[in-house]
Chains A and B, each alone.
Chain A
Amino acid sequence: MIMMLKIENLHAGIDGKEILKGIDLEVNAGEVHAIMGPNGSGKSTMSNVLVGHPAYSVTEGKVTFKGKDLLAMSAEERSHEGLFMSFQYPVEIPGVSMTNFMRTAINEKRKALGKTPLSPADFLKMVREKRDLVKLDAKFMNRSVNEGFSGGEKKRNEIFQMAMLEPSLSILDETDSGLDIDALRIVADGVNRLKNADTSVIVITHYQRLLDYIKPDVVHVLYHGRIIKTAGPELALELEERGYDWVIREFEDSVG
């Protein structure tokens, strides 16, 4: 098994308030992990800390990504190393076209890896291929990033970008929020087709819904900044049925 991500005793927070209180997590290459949990459990904090959001600070712990010290890298270096996050709320960037945005992102990554920039023809070919994956119309490429996109289009655009950047590890942060069932299926289908033995996915979600389409290998429950239960895919179904309370009670009983 090749280790993709190893989180050890991670403590982190925002504005001096500790939110993650000692996370331990291991993700191997080829695996899909789901992180579930009630609102306010620290799910978004965890994804933001992993991708290096400047507002969050790590106070303790260690994160190893493909054998490297993740926390020592800047946000763009993490991206170049193959870390990707699909945003819960994709940001609109008026005046920056999707084409320009994507070309810059791809070529900056190639530059960091010591490769030459993609030729315009190759870039276009790649765009066409990856657009098909999430059924994103060609007209979006001339539009400003996410500007005027519907909720579903924004999420499809996230997966399109994921496809373009070919990450090793993708974090899908509440990708199902605000999606109707058709869009959800397209997005999940895109993610599934990008999956292979060398890539891993962390699906962060409040609900089981998305996990019907993206099958996890491991399910974790995050609560009050800690992972309180880890089990197989059946856990997600159980949570859907019974809610989070029983897991929390079980955890509280065990710690006394």
Chain B
Amino acid sequence: MRPEQNYIELFNANRALIDRGSAGALNGLRDRALECFNVFGLPHKGLEEYLHTDVREWFSADWGMNLGRIDMHVDKAQAFRCNVPNLSTLLYYLANDEFTFSQTAAKTSLPEGVFIGSLREAAGCRPEIVEPYYGRLADMERPGIAALNAMFAQDGMVVYVPDGVVIDRPLQLVTLLYSPVDIMVNRRILVVLGRGAQLKLLLCDHTLNTGGFLTTQVIEVFAGPESNLELYDLEETHNANLRISELYISQDNDSQVETDYVTLNNGQTRNSVFVTLEGRGSRLSLNGIGTIDRNQHLDNMTFVDHRVSDCSSNELFKYVLDESATGAFAGKVLVRQDAQHTSSEQTNRNICLTRQARMFTQPQLEIYADDVKCSHGATVGQLDEKAMFYMSQRGIPEKEARMMLMQAFVGEVIGRVALEPLRDRLNRLVEKRFRGELSKCEGCRVCR
């Protein structure tokens, strides 16, 4: 049987239960989601975009879902220690997909009009901040998981920052996967920034026990005119974790978005990023680091759509692959006819430390405007042997020299992270990772 059929049957059989565990706009989108899923199905290796990641295979297993929303008793505070020193965040959790506040965050009063909370709750009690946005960016009429996610998603997080409001303190959303049995989790995040609003949001993806997990994550971001967003997505999960994430960003006039993907540890991951530069003068910085080994797999796909003039996009993705790890990067930049004076740069550099490690990279540039400045480049190589020898002549042992070179390599990406304490933290995490001291996720129960 097609795996799609399983999900359709599961959906039809549990529709009432799904709706009962959710609300408003989330339930309102399900019929169309089912329709789209019926037509487009799951992504598979026959599609160019999914050539290197057999997502369909992931879904073929018989995954359970917690549609009845049974309390899994995830002990958040015990399970997770925040490991970003000097970074005072407003902390929130998604335990599987269930939103909760940390004690501090619950007590903190926010500027007027700001809403940070459960997507399910907001869909029920604040439809005006959910309905106009939910499902508007995530494209269900293409191969992907937006439709499947919309069929089953019951909760998640919503951050709504109205015009002119600046939230200084970074928000940190820790997603914790915990289940006594193998489970599929569908989570959803919605971020809406009004004119001139500013937000820093750090997503940390963790697994709390060794069970098998399959997560679908759909994030929709509306960056209003002159808004400023820093969005960081840090994955530190275990080897049996499967994650497929889709991030959709729409940028209005003169908005500025930085989004960085850091995959320190994982099982198999597919991240897709779709950014539409809708408003003139908008700027995007889109970066990624992957440090993977063993049989880990990381596939980042980005699509930046320059629709109007005077926008810039700057992309830098770097991977270090050890042992039998495999990586893929596909980056597409589309510069439409109206997008004159576009400035776009895309770079993907990779180091394979072993002969077994594999990297597939595919930069793509499609330009229909004539007055633009665009460049792209991709390389796959090894650590610089000349530098290695130079260092050993100075008395630096091979192991240390390798460490320093790898750290320097990804350091270029970390240098782009705007949030300074996070930058320091990432430098330390990456160093630990390369030293093999971070074999699983930092601070989680399984590894302690």
Q: Which residues of A contact B (CB under 8 A)?
A: 51-54, 74-76, 78-80, 84-85, 87, 90-96, 100-101, 104-105, 108-109, 112, 144, 161, 165
Pairwise interchain contact A94-B408, C-beta atoms closer than 8 A = yes
CB distance from A94 to the nearest CB of B (A): 6
Chain A neighbourhood of B405, CB < 8 A:
93, 95-96
A102–B184 alpha-carbon span in the complex (Å) = 50
Pairwise interchain contact B395-A76, C-beta atoms closer than 8 A = yes
Pairwise interchain contact A79-B389, C-beta atoms closer than 8 A = no
Residue of A nearest to B411 (CB): A95
Interface check B380, CB cutoff 8 A: no
Contact of B395 among A53, A54, A92, A165 (CB under 8 A): A165
Contact of A95 among B386, B390, B397, B412 (CB under 8 A): B412
Pairwise interchain contact A74-B409, C-beta atoms closer than 8 A = no
Pairwise interchain contact A76-B397, C-beta atoms closer than 8 A = yes
Interface centre among B386, B395, B408, B411 (most CB of A within 10 A): B395
Chain A neighbourhood of B407, CB < 8 A:
95
Pairwise interchain contact B389-A75, C-beta atoms closer than 8 A = yes
Pairwise interchain contact A75-B408, C-beta atoms closer than 8 A = no
CB distance from B396 to the nearest CB of A (A): 5
Interface centre among A92, A93, A94, A161 (most CB of B within 10 A): A93
Contact of B404 among A85, A87, A90, A96 (CB under 8 A): A96
CB distance from A99 to the nearest CB of B (A): 12
Pairwise interchain contact A105-B394, C-beta atoms closer than 8 A = yes
Would A93 and B395 be within 8 Å (CB), given that A54-B389, A87-B390, A104-B400 are in contact? no
A156–B400 alpha-carbon span in the complex (Å) = 25
Given contacts A93-B408, A100-B404, 15 further A-B contacts (CB under 8 A): A52-B393, A87-B390, A90-B390, A91-B384, A91-B386, A93-B405, A95-B405, A96-B405, A101-B391, A101-B394, A101-B396, A104-B404, A105-B391, A105-B395, A165-B394
Would A109 and B390 be within 8 Å (CB), given that A95-B407, A96-B405, A100-B404 are in contact? no
A78–B389 alpha-carbon span in the complex (Å) = 12
Chain A neighbourhood of B408, CB < 8 A:
93-96, 144
Pairwise interchain contact A85-B396, C-beta atoms closer than 8 A = no
Would A75 and B393 be within 8 Å (CB), given that A93-B387, A95-B409 are in contact? yes
Pairwise interchain contact B404-A112, C-beta atoms closer than 8 A = no
Pairwise interchain contact B386-A75, C-beta atoms closer than 8 A = no
Pairwise interchain contact B387-A91, C-beta atoms closer than 8 A = yes
Pairwise interchain contact A79-B394, C-beta atoms closer than 8 A = yes
Pairwise interchain contact A112-B386, C-beta atoms closer than 8 A = no
Chain B neighbourhood of A80, CB < 8 A:
395
Task: Give 8 A-B contacts (CB < 8 Å), ordered by A residue.
Answer: A76-B397, A78-B393, A79-B395, A85-B393, A91-B387, A95-B409, A105-B396, A165-B394
User: Which 9 A/B pairs are nearest by Cβ-Cβ distance?
Assistant: A95-B408, A79-B395, A91-B390, A75-B392, A105-B394, A109-B395, A96-B408, A76-B392, A95-B411
Would A108 and B397 be within 8 Å (CB), given that A75-B392, A95-B408 are in contact? yes
A151–B268 alpha-carbon span in the complex (Å) = 46
Contact of A161 among B386, B394, B404 (CB under 8 A): B394
Q: How many chain B residues touch A (Cβ–Cβ < 8 Å)? A: 21
Chain A neighbourhood of B389, CB < 8 A:
53-54, 75, 91
CB distance from A212 to the nearest CB of B (A): 27
Pairwise interchain contact B409-A79, C-beta atoms closer than 8 A = no
Chain B neighbourhood of A100, CB < 8 A:
404
A84–B395 alpha-carbon span in the complex (Å) = 9
Q: Which residues of B contact A (CB under 8 A)?
A: 384, 386-387, 389-398, 400, 404-405, 407-409, 411-412
A179–B404 alpha-carbon span in the complex (Å) = 30
Chain A neighbourhood of B395, CB < 8 A:
76, 79-80, 105, 108-109, 112, 165
CB distance from A127 to the nearest CB of B (A): 15
CB distance from B73 to the nearest CB of A (A): 45
Chain B neighbourhood of A96, CB < 8 A:
404-405, 408
Residue of A nearest to B398 (CB): A76
A92–B384 alpha-carbon span in the complex (Å) = 10
Residue of B nearest to A109 (CB): B395
CB distance from B383 to the nearest CB of A (A): 11
Chain B neighbourhood of A112, CB < 8 A:
395
A91–B395 alpha-carbon span in the complex (Å) = 15
Residue of B nearest to A94 (CB): B408
A78–B412 alpha-carbon span in the complex (Å) = 32
A109–B393 alpha-carbon span in the complex (Å) = 11
CB distance from A226 to the nearest CB of B (A): 26
CB distance from A108 to the nearest CB of B (A): 5
A75–B391 alpha-carbon span in the complex (Å) = 9
Residue of B nearest to A78 (CB): B393
Residue of B nearest to A162 (CB): B394
A75–B400 alpha-carbon span in the complex (Å) = 14
Chain A neighbourhood of B396, CB < 8 A:
76, 101, 104-105, 108
CB distance from B333 to the nearest CB of A (A): 25
A87–B392 alpha-carbon span in the complex (Å) = 13
A78–B393 alpha-carbon span in the complex (Å) = 8
CB distance from A162 to the nearest CB of B (A): 10
Chain B neighbourhood of A84, CB < 8 A:
393
A85–B392 alpha-carbon span in the complex (Å) = 11
Residue of B nearest to A84 (CB): B393
Chain B neighbourhood of A101, CB < 8 A:
391, 394, 396, 404
Pairwise interchain contact A74-B394, C-beta atoms closer than 8 A = no
Chain B neighbourhood of A95, CB < 8 A:
405, 407-409, 411-412
Interface centre among A75, A90, A92, A105 (most CB of B within 10 A): A75
Residue of A nearest to B395 (CB): A79
A127–B61 alpha-carbon span in the complex (Å) = 61
Would A51 and B393 be within 8 Å (CB), given that A96-B404, A104-B400 are in contact? yes
CB distance from A24 to the nearest CB of B (A): 24
A237–B387 alpha-carbon span in the complex (Å) = 36
Chain B neighbourhood of A108, CB < 8 A:
395-397, 400
CB distance from B283 to the nearest CB of A (A): 25
Pairwise interchain contact A93-B390, C-beta atoms closer than 8 A = yes
Chain B neighbourhood of A54, CB < 8 A:
389
A78–B411 alpha-carbon span in the complex (Å) = 30
Chain A neighbourhood of B391, CB < 8 A:
93, 101, 105
Residue of B nearest to A77 (CB): B395
Chain A neighbourhood of B400, CB < 8 A:
104, 108
Chain B neighbourhood of A90, CB < 8 A:
390
